Amino acid sequence: MKKDNRKQKKKRPKILIIHGPNLHMLGKREVQTYGKFTLSELNEELEIIAGENNIALATFQSNSEGKIVDKITNSDFDFLIINPAAYTHTSVALRDAILTRQLPAIEVHISNTFKREDFRKKSLISDVVLGVITGLGKLSYISALQAAISLLKK
């Protein structure tokens, strides 16, 4: 049998970042809580970090619970970073979608949800992900991405 000498190109690991409802309004929405940066500025920064680390990055924002479930269950990725926003506190559907994929995930929040109203202290997501980063503003996402990259490189 002939040996296949073509070098097999190694596929870059893929990280999916999901932004939940109302995060398309970043920069305009409650700036004292969420900061002045926009979603596209945030995504651009994340894409630069991913590019420097040879990671394929996909970002997705939706206000619709069903669309987020579809994204989690139907797309190809190795690691999920998710800010489920208001669905954090209500969505069994998102929790189940994350459980369905059995892939590593980090939950992020821009604000410190523990410093806010009582209903934000409860997350239906936290116990089905590897870890949670909350309250660091834009740095919550950047830290989550750096952690995901380190874990994927292990």
Least CB distance to ligand DQA at residue 102 (A): 24
CA 110 to chain CA mean position, Å:
12
CA 105 to chain CA mean position, Å:
8
Fill in the amino acid letter for 93.
A
Least CB distance to ligand DQA at residue 84 (A): 7
SS3 61: strand
User: Among residues 75 and 112, whose Cβ is nearest to ligand DQA?
Assistant: 112
CA 64 to chain CA mean position, Å:
16
Enumerate residues 6+ apart whose C-beta is below 8 A from 120.
88, 89, 113, 114
User: Among residues 18 and 55, whose Cβ is nearest to ligand DQA?
Assistant: 18
Active-site residue list: 34, 109
Residue 79 pairs in a beta bridge with: 15
Residues interacting with ligand DQA, by CB under 6 A? Answer: 22, 83, 85-86, 88, 109-111, 113, 120
User: Among residues 25 and 151, whose Cβ is nearest to ligand DQA?
Assistant: 25
Least CB distance to ligand DQA at residue 52 (A): 25
